[in-house]
Amino acid sequence: MTPAVAAFPLPGVATPAPRIATTAVGPPSIDRREVVGIDELAPLLDGRWVPYVNLDNAATTPALQSVLDAVTDLLPRYASVHRGTGYKSRCTTEAYERARRVVGRFVGADPDLDTVVFGKHTTDAVNTLAQAVVLPDDAVVITTVLEHHSNDLPWRKRARVLHVQATPCGTLDEDHLDELLARHAGRIGMVCVTGASNVTGVVPRIHAIAERVHAAGGLVMVDAAQLAAHRPIDLRPHDDPGHLDFVALSGHKVYAPFGAGALIGRRDALGAVPHHPGGGTVEAVTLTDVRWAELPDREEGGSPNVLGAVALAAAVERLEAVGLERIAEHERRLVRHVTTRLRALPGVRLHAPDADAVDRVGVVPFTVEGIEHGLLAAVLGHEHGIGIRSGCFCAHPYIAHLLGLTAADVLGAPPGRLGAARVSVAAYTDQCDIDRLVHALTAVCDGEIRGDYRQLATGDWVPRRPIADLTA
């Protein structure tokens, strides 16, 4: 049965403004009609259905119609890639290798010096690099407090890891980075830095950082999972002091949620033995010897996710067509609007640097006095049809820094108790989405929580029973 669209106003919430762009934000940089599922309805606890508002884009973006079309178009000719001589295999191989060229071009890779290795996502890409890159035996790896765990934990298995601290306001402490580079010059294996924080949206000066790292004799790797959908990326020529040696990104964060990601970077820094050997990684095998394949084949063991790679390529081509600078400017206006509206609400505290002083992508972390972040997210979802994220966002040290917590606080807390709420916008987000959020948060700050919720052992909050049961 198709649910009926709910009549506004929502309980305790002012009637949302009509979906007409205003001077505060302007029109979205990606037409909302391009977003698959943009008109999806969400059920509320009282039995009604309302248009869903997705403000959890930092976790996963929805698919674009052009991405879905690219996958659908390939499916009739889908087959195995490489070494197949049949028509469908040739079509699939060409689509896969074209996707590799498109993704490399998207970040400014040099096709002669760089390689594009497809995998599952950014976490997979970083793990691949951590195992495959050639490092001296006494190498030091430097990462930062701002990182997602995926740009920290894989390196702890490979080398001694040092962490650049954050400033009191939450930006990268470049003075501390300089201290670490000077202290360990000549032994710097890799410096791993986020291109944009998934917690605060802070965008470090990655090319300036690369210059310093190269001067100290190291390589630089940028986790571009959050950056790729929001800002242009340019590896720059290899002889440029600000060249980025490696970047990693995920399709599911750039409007291509089909299970693919990529590691892009210099061929000469990767070892000759694959980290995940198997089918497709070899040229010849005997019972005693192996001749490994060239890159990227030797780092793509097994049958690849062709459809995911094609989807990723279609997504970044669409972003290029729209214009990353145009997307960036729209999201800057959104962040200013969100932060201005949230600051005006009683009890709301923001946990990120001022967007007018620091370059940030569209991520806004906050807490509300007197209500746990997980309960807040549950109320917004179950009572208002708004999706946000809550918790530590796979960045416990950074959250601890922003919230003033100690390591003992983090390790001693039950699962899911520590953290914040996070709103994250995208190229298709408009002012009406933000207004819906502010209306809902106003109700919550006024104490209007209509459901009866319980907290699970995981820290998640769930309603005990529908609101309709409580008011019957």
Tell which residue, 317, 320, 350, has the closest CA to residue 336.
Answer: 350
Share of the chain above pLDDT 90, in %: 90
Quick: pLDDT tens for 278-334. 999 999 999 999 999 999 999 999 999 999 999 999 999 999 999 999 999 999 999
Residue 118 to residue 108: CA distance in whole angstroms: 16
The region of weakest confidence among 290-304, 432-446, 455-469 is 455-469
Place of tokens 């390529």: 313
Give mean pLDDT, residues 404-432. 95
Instruction: Decide if 32-62+323-471 and 78-321 have a common fold.
Output: no
Where residue 4 falls among pLDDT bands split at 50, 70, 90?
very low
Instruction: Name the residue type at position 451.
Output: G
Instruction: Look up the CATH number of domain 32-62+323-471.
Output: 3.90.1150.10
Q: Is 169 a catalytic residue?
A: no
SS (H, E, C) the chain: CCCCECCCCCCCCCCCCCCCCCCCCCCCCCCHHHECCCCCEEECCCCCEEECEECECCCCCCCEHHHHHHHHHHHHHCCCCCCCCCHHHHHHHHHHHHHHHHHHHHCCCCCCCEEEEEECCHHHHHHHHHHHECCCCCCEEEEECCCCHHHCHHHHCCCEEEEECECCCCCECHHHHHHHHHHCCCCEEEEEEECCCCCCCECCCHHHHHHHHHHCCCEEEEECCCCCCCCCCCCCCCCCCCCCCEEEEEHHHCCCCCCCEEEEEEHHHECCCCCCCCCCCEEEECCCCEEECCCCHHHCCCCCCHHHHHHHHHHHHHHHHHCHHHHHHHHHHHHHHHHHHHHCCCCEEECCCCCCCCCECCEEEEEECCECHHHHHHHHHHHHCEECEEECCCCHHHHHHHHCCCHHHHHHCCCCCCCEEEEECCCCCCHHHHHHHHHHHHHHHCCCCCCEEEECCCCCEEEEECHHHHHC
pLDDT of residue 284: 97
The structure tokens listed for 101 are 């060229």
pTM over 0.85: yes
Bridge-based pairing state of the strands 188-194 and 140-144: parallel
Bridge-based pairing state of the strands 188-194 and 219-223: parallel
Residue 405 to residue 418: CA distance in whole angstroms: 9
Residue 277: burial class (beta carbons within 10 Å; 0-12, 13-18, 19+): middle
Residue 206 to residue 192: CA distance in whole angstroms: 10
Quick: pLDDT tens for 166-221. 999 999 999 999 999 999 999 999 999 999 999 999 999 999 999 999 999 999 99
Instruction: Give residue limits of the domains in the chain.
Output: 32-62+323-471, 78-321
pLDDT of residue 1: 36
**Catalytic one of 91, 169, 192, 394:** 394
User: What are φ and ψ of residue 99, in 5° steps?
Assistant: -60, -40
Question: At residue 11, does pLDDT exceed 70?
Answer: no
Average pLDDT taken over every residue of the chain: 93
Q: At a CB cut-off of 8 Å and minimum separation 6, what does 384 contact? A: 10, 13, 44, 50, 53, 436, 439, 440, 443
Quick: pLDDT tens for 123-140. 999 999 999 999 999 999
Neighbours of 264 (CB within 10 A): 28
44 vs 21 pLDDT, higher one: 44
pLDDT of residue 301: 94
pLDDT of residue 24: 78
Residue 407 to residue 402: CA distance in whole angstroms: 13
Where residue 6 falls among pLDDT bands split at 50, 70, 90?
very low
Question: At residue 402, does pLDDT exceed 90?
Answer: yes
Quick: pLDDT tens for 324-372. 999 999 999 999 999 999 999 999 999 999 999 999 999 999 999 999 9
pLDDT of residue 5: 38
Helix pair angle (306-322, 65-74), 10° resolution: 140
Q: At a CB cut-off of 8 Å and minimum separation 6, what does 207 contact? A: 236, 242, 244
User: What are φ and ψ of residue 402, in 5° steps?
Assistant: -70, -35
Quick: pLDDT tens for 51-86. 999 999 999 999 999 999 999 999 999 999 998 899
Residue 281 to residue 263: CA distance in whole angstroms: 16
Neighbours of 85 (CB within 10 A): 6
Bridge-based pairing state of the strands 348-350 and 188-194: unpaired
Instruction: Look up the CATH number of domain 78-321.
Output: 3.40.640.10
Where residue 22 falls among pLDDT bands split at 50, 70, 90?
low
Residue 400 to residue 313: CA distance in whole angstroms: 36
Are 449 and 45 within 8 A, CB to CB? no
Where residue 13 falls among pLDDT bands split at 50, 70, 90?
very low
Share of the chain above pLDDT 70, in %: 94
Residue 89: burial class (beta carbons within 10 Å; 0-12, 13-18, 19+): middle
Are 210 and 233 within 8 A, CB to CB? no
The CA dihedral of 181, 182, 184, 188, to the nearest 10 degrees, is: 40
pLDDT of residue 212: 98
